[in-house]
Structure 1
Amino acid sequence: MHDYARDLGLLRDRRFALLLSGRTISVLGSAFAPVALAFGVLELPGASAGTLSMVLAAASVPMIAFMLVGGVVADRLPRQRVMMTGEFLASAGYFAIGAMMLTGWTPMPALLTAAALTGIATALALPALTGIIPDVVPPDRLQSGNALLGLGANASRVGGAVLGGGTVTLFGGGWALMASGAMFGGAGVLVALMRLDRIERPPGERHSVLKDLRDGWREFRTRQWLWVVVAQFSLLVMAFEAGHGVLGPLLFKDRLGGPAAWSAFLAGEAIGMIAGVLVSIRLRPRRPILVGVLLCLPTALPYVLLGSDAPLWAAVAAAFVLGVCFDVFGVLWQTTMQREVPPEALSRVSSYDMLGSLMFGPLGLLLAGGAADVFGAETSLLACAVIIVVCTLAALLAPGVRNLRAPVAPVTR
């Protein structure tokens, strides 16, 4: 029988508590940003869906370009310091965008530069986060640790979606982005307070960046389950970036109630992710990657409903289902990577995972604006749903996805 009390015992560990607190506040800041940025940009004089696409792509492209560098840095330097640096860079970027919107000085080059800074911050912080978890959590409690981190992040997504939409409605996107910047700064301080043992490489192991990248690539490409699912997510994320980044806000702005209604949709998704934590703590599938990939199929449902002119309550309910599925997938995926990949290469492999998964995201953002103009937001959302289903079914054809088995956990009493 699985013991919830033992899982919650991780909270008594100071290092894990600080990691959890920092991650939770960081995600709260990032949950403010999408609503504030989307509606703040769309309210700028002369702004269009294409303007929003450009700003979002300006954050995504540097994130992808620097992701591999972030993985190498996180495997070479103390991951705590790398995470801290990423949080402070994100804080600076969102403060800058918020200040520009508040002052009314919003030249496109300055907006794009500040957005790019937030993308670089993400490229540093995320590979370090994946690698730092096994440094803090015992091996037999990795799934529980990932689930608890997911619980904090998902609670922040709920709070951020609700508070972000309310802040934008009452005070405007500029103040919401300033609040986001303050949260990233607070997260950086909490990460700085962690005390982790310095992990030293054996003498003579230091290599060039290219050698480190080649070694990380070897660890990545020799695991079929890993590269197949990353290929799946390269298309799936493209669809989600288009749907969540541009098409959804555009549809809600025109027809479904504006930022408050869009926040309700995002809150439904985030509440689903909180519910998914309870499932992910208890669920111990023998074939974790197979289960995770199958859970990607229902994530197309919100786009089907939005594209079919369904009522808002149905779209929010579908977003809840999406949240449950994505949370369980995320915990199974992170735990499997942390178990299967050597610790000294984990951040680099994670960076290849993120690079591959996100590499078509900017394309989705850039295509979404034009697709909405030509075909309409509803038809474009249906196309996103088709992409999600097709790429998921294709991933299920790989034996490595279907057959990878989790280690048998010892029985505890």
Structure 2
Amino acid sequence: MAAEKDMPDAAPPPDPSLSRTAAPDTANSSSTPSQTIHIGTRKSLLARVQADEVVRHLKAAWPQHNFEVHAMSTTGDNNQSTALHKFNEKALWTQELEVLLQSGELDLIVHCLKDMPTQLPKDLVIGGITKREDPRDALVIKPSLAGKYRTLAELPAGSVVGTSSLRRIAQCKRFYPHLKFTDVRGNLGTRLAKLDDPQSEYSAIILAFAGLNRLGMGERITQHLSKLSGGDERVKELVHAIGDERTTREGLAERQLMRTLEGGCSVPIGVETEWVSRKGLHDTGVGIGVKPAEEYHKLTGIAETDLGDEEGKESEAMELTDELIMRAIVISLDGTDAAEVEARRRITSRQEADEFGFEVAKQLVAKGADKILEKIQLDRGIIQDQGNA
């Protein structure tokens, strides 16, 4: 995901999107003179790997340009002791880079989509979203226990499982009440080191599959658990050439749901989307429109799937329809209360993706999601007042 700065005299497209809805088939590498594009990212190894991946795509699309990556630490990087849900800021991983983007020192910045605040500064827009990696969570077991256990369900009662995600903690408490879930901070390498320490309390940690895979650490997985500137046409064209339209529409729908519920990475909201395959459409025979979809899938939280379930996905991807399924859940911090929705709708534009996310958010509110989130905000305010006393 890349962001760019909005030019003052330009009318920005609907946030977060580009002014055009489809990427060109090929980038024009001959009509534009050579330029140096300055790209910002965080200093962590994973952030650098992701930025380098974007640079590779940009070089392939625009070989005449030079791309320089500039890395810096952010608030979230500098404070490694406070649990993420105790921060009041919603731009933990982006604010310092956004300042440089707004000042013109950077042309674009690269972030994980999950780290982007749902409300961007008015002069910034999302310029492109590259093809989505596997979005699932992944379980990593302590090496000394890996021979005995492979899944959360197998771990003995009272085992400590670390994660930096409030959403993961809330989901896991709901479905694995026999385990103890605690916060673990640090970059990916630091968290793995904490797990592998024979003296640490952790029996396992939950991480993003995509991060482990990008750093070549996929073998550690024992279980798969289920800013651009609107008016800067130069940078928008660069990033647009490497965007994936289906993934962009997925991201827009998910972000609209999060924005409607006023949720970021510090509240227990889970959402995922997937396109309906043509085979699935024929099997179900259900018409188009926003509606409950329990007959297609049952939202059960974190899925226990076999590592080989990716087989055949490439061929199936060629048969995807324009119908999108969204599954979303809001869970109380103790895991006892939850509001969950699954719906599907035909999505043929970015605007329709935005509308879909908003409609699903309204369904969650109707099922009590607003009351769960209000209770979390109240508890957080009490904790902050006590800290300031």
Give the TM-score of the pair, scaled to structure 1: 0.27
Which structure features the higher share of helix residues? Answer: 1
- The answer to which structure, 1 or 2, has the higher relative contact order (CA under 8 A, 6+ apart) is 1
